[in-house]
Structure 1
Amino acid sequence: MQYAQIPPGASSQPTPFQVSIPDSQLARFQQQLALAELAPATYESLQEDESLSLGISHAWLSNAVHTWKTQYDWRQTETRINSFPNYQTAVTDEAGRDYNIHFVALFSEKPDAIPIVLLHGWPGIFMEFLPALDILRRRYTPSTLPYHIIVPSIVGYCFSSGPSTTSNTTLLDVAWAINEVMISLGFGAGYLAQGGDIGSYLARILGSKYEACKAVHCKSKTSNDPPSLSLSEIEQAALDRTGLFSMTNFAYALEQATRPATIGFVLSTNPVALLSWIGEKYLSWSDQTPSLSVILDAASVYWFTKTIARCIYPYRDTLQVLYHDLPEYFVPKPLGFSFFPYEILPAPISWVRTTGNLVWSRIHTEGGHFAALERPDVFLQDLEDFAGQVWPWSE
């Protein structure tokens, strides 16, 4: 397969991986869909305003479930995922905890290729970066690709192993595992970390605590609001929307942070419940409404990998970040930031400057929480422009 040549400096060989859900699991899924009932129509579920101010609509969910049952083809999704090199690799921390990390990669054959790790959040998955990787595959060959692109499923997500069931797993633990994976692939001399949402926290931890991470690019708020600083008109409008979001759309985060066991049980018992929970976020957090196939892909990956109950543990950490200053996440390395106005927790550039060595930034007029999925060309251009400015890094 193209783009699958492991760098010569790798200290371990990751195991090639193919996504292949058993026919028996697909059949059981169809049974569960057939038996699942939608709640009766209510005043709330019959509202169809674009903001989904009262939640997912009965009409949208009914149509989505019908499509899932009768038209959606998981095998096509598998084929798309498997068209990229996929791997799993194991790392063990000092406490003896094993992490088996899945990742998609585009490996370059250029000796000076820049290693970049792309980190997703919730309810994102590794697949949100595939449109950007498609652009890279069209634009470059393995011998001309200027980057090594590594897209892991973070611990607890998709085809990576879950967090420990005997001790608490934190974002610090996950960042350690990501750094170990990058070093094992031969990138101990330096790599760039990019992240959004939970991935932003991970990228900041990598940039603040690990020597091998030489630069960080983020697109999400990752710290408390600083004192009043100058804001552009587009930044102020985004913050106004954030205030509304905090009042009307934040209950999900409190539930996942404070009662993760309960919501994990609820969403793991019924694929329709799972689809409504994460589908609402894809619809209401995007600037450009994603296609139903994109949402069904995400819901299917979550369902078939039993992800939902084991992936929401980071909310306990991120809730702490929202309410407490965490100066140890200050990034002394070169920091880049892309401002997308419809991000659910946008950060004005002047705020970001107080959280690290900001050397590159760009304000966009479009784009939301899933920017890499919504606008892969813009996302990729930002990443390439930032990497081109900071690499090779200055010691």
Structure 2
Amino acid sequence: MINCHLTQAQASNSTAENEVKKINLAFEMGNNVMLYLDDIQHTNPEFLQKFISLCDGSRKVDGVFNGKSKTYDMRGKKFAVVMAGNPYTESGEAFSIPDMLANRADIYNLGDTLSGREHEFSLSFIENSLTSNRYIAPLATRDMDDLYKLVQIADGNPIATTELQHGYSQAEVNEIVAVIKRIRKIQETVLKANAQYIASAAQDDKYRTEPPFKLQGSYRNMNKMAEKVVPVMTDEEVEQLIADHYRGEAQTLTVGAEENLLKLAEIRGNQTAEQLTRWQQIKADYVRHKNLGDNDNPIATIANQISLLQQGLNQIGQALQQPQSEGLAALNETLASLKLQVNVEKPDHSALEQAMSSFSEHVDSFLTPLVTVLQSNKSVVFGVG
């Protein structure tokens, strides 16, 4: 058990102090309580570690109530702790739950729990944004079935206004439908960003072929854009609204603003030719830098380069097994893309010399038989880049 207290005196500001006070009040109440902690990616790992003993078999936690330190025993009580967070902080830094806490908790991924409920989830973005926009805000206090019917009308379905529960004027219906149509365009982008964010966060870094995607598609993003929508906006103005919003979001990332905006344009399907070229270059450079490995470790760099060379030779072998004309063209293209570069600076131990010697022997054993075979074919034209 970790002997540390959730103390108001340790809070860095008044807001944090109030939150800690609420947590300790929940401990004091003890029974029939659900303690919900949101956006835990913004908290200090030490804060989360204070809940480890509460989540394991001991079911105990230290707290402070009315200035007195107490140990709360939750065994046999109906006390649940629910935490929610994102895999990245707002600055784009990776976030992970402390291992000891994760091992004692049930972990749910939003992407997994949404299976079969995609339609309801997509509508929740509109439901959540109702109070952000003055034209559709009244719907928040009316029968929600009206909202669903108005969404169907905005989507082009033939729903009579007489089916609505509230007595709307035609002018009011027209305004609401016009706003929902524009919000639907925003919703489409937010959902795509959300799906890409979840997929990227779930991927291990060693398998990535492009930079991680850190722009979120959250209710907050939806609300911030929805509040600016008016019935008379054109499609171009809506597109500009979305672009401006995510440009601002990208600027809050520590690094990667350009690549995240290029990826967003790709998933939205509105990349320009210049953006496509730049995005392909970034992806190629990303893979190349990963393959070069740790520049501070020359042996690891050499090992990575040998691996790249072997991959290239395997491609050559596959090309030679193809029909003559097709194989030669593929061989020429493969050789052109094969770029081997080894940079070793200031070797300071014998292990590096052994690695270099082994590297030389491998190159000889790989390339000598290949060159012998290729020399017998006079029609081969090499284009090594």
- Range class of TM-score, shorter chain: under 0.3
Alignment TM-score, normalising by the size of structure 1: 0.23
Larger strand share, 1 or 2: 1
Q: Which structure has the bigger radius of gyration?
A: 2
Of structures 1 and 2, the one scoring higher in RCO (CA 8 A, sep 6+) is: 1
Larger helix share, 1 or 2: 2
